[in-house]
Chains A and B, each alone.
Chain A
Amino acid sequence: MTLTSNMISTKAITKTVTTSQGELQILQPISFDVKAGETVAIVGASGSGKSTLLGLLAGLDQVSSGEIYLDNQPLHSMDEEQRARLRGEKVGFIFQSFMLVQSLTALENIMLPAEIAGLSDARKRALEALEQVGLSHRGSHYPNQLSGGEQQRVAIARAFITRPKILFADEPTGNLDAANGDKIENLLFDLNQQLGTTLILVTHDSELAARCQRQLKMHGGVLEDTSVTALEGQRHAG
């Protein structure tokens, strides 16, 4: 395999699950590439398979068939341990329900990926990240003492602390009101730009989707349309 500049590359990946009614194919063969630094929105109706796709791309789940490369690493042939290491090294996550560890403070939550990665300056990095999301004064608070927007900011700080090459976000603003949602969006795109991270997010919010360079539209487990936005054209040209 030749090294490409693709951050993600999928070749006819499918996902089939076994239910009580038999086999159910929830993803039809899907192929597409995402370049390093690109921002991509996965959109589509509820139940169309967006989260499933995201899970596969992020190495949280195993494909049923097809090939999937993340930063040129063959995710499809790795076991859970290898995928975990890859996630730790290259991937950051943001979720709709924040997914903070309830019994760790905000600061400790942010430190967690750095600690897992064995970085010795975890605390220092976490303090900086906390500063960047504007929550320096809340470091010792537990998640349930923070508002939804604040929790998501902590989650963002956590996602960026290891400087991941690629960031996955599943409806990052889904649980927030409009004002907080905007704040989170801005933070996300700012950090993304500063660090040159590849961003893949799932959203129902068309405004948010529009801020991405590219939109992948899911429909009943099928990737319908790949459109390259004008923005991307400009960037490639420039």
Chain B
Amino acid sequence: MRGNAMALSLSWRLFRHEARRGELTVILLAIVLSVASVLSLSLFSERLQSALSDKSAEFLAADRMLGSDKPVPDSWLEEARQRGLAVSQRNQLRSMAFANDKMMLTDVRAVDAFYPLKGVVKVSDMPFGLPQETRDLPALGEVWIGSRLFQVLGISLGDELEIGDKAFVVSKAVIELPDGGFNLFGGDPVVLMNLADLPATNVTGPGSRTDYDYLFAGEDSALDDYYAYLKPQLNRELHYWRSVKDEDSPLGRSVKRAEQYFLLASLLAIVLAAVSIAVAAQRYSQRHYDPVAIMKTLGAPAAMVRRVYLLQILFITLLGIVVGGVVGFGIQQLIASLIADKVPVALDTWYWRPFFIAIFTGLVCAMLFSLYPLLKLFSVPPLRVLRRDLGASMGSRSLQFVAAGLAIFLLMWAYSGNLTISAILLACGLLLVASLMLVTLGLIAVGRKLGQGRMGAWQLAWARISRRAMDNSVQLISFAVTIMLLLVVLVMRNDMVQQWRDQLPEGTPNYFMINITQQQLPKLEQHFVEHGVDIEHFYPVVRGRFAAINEETIRTDVSKEEDSNSRGRQGLGREANLTWSNQLQHENHVVEGTWHGEQSSEGEPRVSVEKEVALRLGIKMGDLLTFNIGSEVVKAKVSSVREVNWQTMQPNFFFVLEPRSMANFSPTYITSFHLDSDKKPELAGLMAPFPTVSLFDVDARINQLRSIVEQVSMAVEFILVLVLCAGTLVLVAQVQSSMDERMQELAILRTLGAKGLLIRMSVILEFVIIGMVAGLMAAMANELALYLLQTQIFNMQASIHWDFWLLAPLVGALVVGILGALSCWRLLSFNTSELLRRMI
């Protein structure tokens, strides 16, 4: 059709000229910014996440694991291989190991040649030796065993060790297995052997409890598909499926939090992008009132005007997306290569999702946020050519707010798939907008009072703020939203990184000792002090059987629960370590009841129970617990429930009793201490006088944890910097566009002979006031958003950040004021006639 061709050509010409003349810079920049920041953020976080989940996959030695009480059909494994997954088998069972006429219960792990799929095995040529990575596995007829087993059985490398019916040669000490787990006390020393040797031992017969574990690694989607295939065939009684992302996996929580942070940051980037596009589209629309009026006057039908401008927005959007894509990819590549030596992000892997998201965001933002300004633009009457003051005649602005809010919410929801996060951010945003409207009204009232009298810079500033109240409220809102989002990202990062670091401060204990007898205790303490090793606390321990709750013998299915849980961190065997103390340990918080404390009580002794055990075993406040210790029976009443931070490297206990209940038992002691890595060679000498004391080395594990925390923190840092840059650019765009609106007024003031200084001061003051108010409101909204996010999403302790209540208004005033001053200075450097000319 001719009309179409004409609209296309006209629109293309307008686009080309305007782009060349720099008239589209602001809206183009907004789109470029949104696409670039969303792309770089999500691409970067995708890469980081895969690096991190690779790292945490090491804790499972795989991406996913299928645990089973019986061997699973070969066809299942064949199916996995068909789907391109790597598969490995590991059988695990408890069995006695014999040597030198001594024996010890061991944790036997028989693995095939593919083990481990993730992470590495570390071994040494001496017990507790320096770890060396190895790609090998024990040869047929050989075993590698944990350091403690050497100690207990009194053997050395090359000696024989019997497991069941078969004798093995001990060829290495196992220092670290990727899937070694965290159960320090229930954990028996490891015996690693070749899967092919297992049948000859005859230990897997009926009555033995063997875990048949199948490890899988591969693409997330392939793994998910495979699980979908597997799921209908699984029997809940026999099988269970584990992934590194499970919250209960040792690092699950940190990694999950980091992922949520990236998600949050990307969401905020989307919102920032939307805000800047909304601001720019508004400006774009206003600048095109005249051309629209002219075209209409010259006889262009409404449909043609619509087509011309929709096409133009399309051109702008496409250009913005292309440029934004290139810029975003570049930024991401730069950052990734900058931190490549710290975080092993794979630069060659290509992720499509971030590109789709970025393009989608650019399109949706540009279309949705220019919709209302465009509708306004289309409604400009032709009569404007005669009556210059005629603007667009469009309905209420609240429609715009509702549409914008809805669009942002939908974008966030579509992107995150997380209704809670999206709802929290939207609700806080709405509240912020509502209170800002109120503040604006207040400002107008104040301004009316203050604006009277002689025209100084203050009066001029106030007068302007109140006169352009509606425009200012939009501006205030966009400034405040921007500042709020920046605050959320900043404070969130501070809190999160701090909490991570707190988990593993310098000097975190990296060795545990158990089985210290009462007689050994003073000698050992002195010996350690002489060697310059501090030991903070020895915890008395008695092994007891947890027998009954309220005189009701514990049902047998509890033991089943126990077994599946013994695979994880909090394994509670039927045997539990009981300790007693009047003092609450560090990082323990009473969540119910009161800590029994120093004061002794009459009647039943009291006991404090760990929260998750209480939950799992159905223990309630006031319950009477029965423990069998040897042939004795101890009863205690539950007087408090504790929350325990399991991520600290200190001995933790499910049950802490009141001391008087345990006075008759002679305990052994447990403790932990810190030894610098360079002192590691002294360890053997340190332990030599106490051969019966068992030593656990968790140094490797701590370093593993710490390196992940550091990598995640660094990644979070970079994300923060990215979002800060995006936010600053948005602020610049906002100031620029609001400056534009002031141009006319400045020109008039200038023409009327107002002094440059007066104008400048009043404009700067105006921006300072707006920046300050926006900062203050943002700090308040930030607090609410953070509280909701931290308690609802991140499972963190929420706190109030008073310092930001002061900082945000100050920085807001400063930054917005400086930006305002800069662009005002630029404007005033034009002479009056040039100003007037630019206005037309």
Contact = CB atoms under 8 A, between A and B. Distances in A.
> Are A and B part of the same complex?
yes
A87 B298 contact: yes
Interface residues of B, number: 33
Contacts of B21: 103, 142
A108 B308 CA distance: 15
B301 A84 contact: yes
B23 interface: yes
B290 to A, nearest CB: 7
A101 B18 CA distance: 11
Interface in A120-137: none
B13 interface: yes
A67 interface: no
A221 to B, nearest CB: 16
B511 to A, nearest CB: 74
A86 B294 CA distance: 15
Contacts of B388: 97
Interface string B277-314: 00000000000001101111111111010000000000
A103 B299 contact: no
A22 interface: no
Contact of A103 (B2, B17, B382, B837): B17
Interface stretch (A37-45, A111-119, A203-211): A111-119
Contacts of A87: 297-299, 382
Contacts of A158: 298
Given A99-B290, A170-B386, A80 B17 contact: no
Most chain A Cβ neighbours within 10 Å, of B296, B297, B299? B299
Contacts of B293: 99
A88 B294 CA distance: 11
Contacts of B296: 84
A108 B297 CA distance: 16
Interface in A127-173: 142, 144, 158, 170
B385 interface: yes
B6 A54 contact: no
B13 A108 contact: yes
Nearest to A87: B299
A11 interface: no
B450 interface: no
Contacts of A93: 297-298, 385
A182 interface: no
B296 to A, nearest CB: 6
A128 to B, nearest CB: 18
A101 B15 CA distance: 13
Interface string B12-55: 01100110010100000000000000000000000000000000
B304 A116 contact: yes
B14 A112 contact: no
A113 B291 contact: no
B748 interface: no
A64 to B, nearest CB: 14
B836 to A, nearest CB: 11
A105 B385 contact: no
B397 interface: no
A48 interface: no
Given A99-B294, A103-B14, A105-B17, A118 B2 contact: yes
Contacts of A118: 2-3, 6
Contacts of A102: 290-291, 840
Interface of B: 2-3, 6, 9-10, 13-14, 17-18, 21, 23, 290-291, 293-302, 304, 381-383, 385-388, 837, 840
Instruction: List 5 tightest A-B contacts by C-beta distance, closest first.
Output: A88-B299, A87-B299, A113-B298, A103-B18, A103-B17
Given A88-B300, A93-B385, 18 more contacts: A55-B386, A60-B381, A60-B386, A81-B302, A84-B299, A84-B382, A87-B297, A99-B294, A101-B290, A103-B18, A104-B14, A108-B13, A112-B10, A116-B295, A117-B299, A118-B2, A118-B6, A142-B17
Interface of A: 51, 54-55, 60-61, 80-81, 84-89, 91, 93, 95, 97, 99-105, 108, 112-113, 115-118, 142, 144, 158, 170
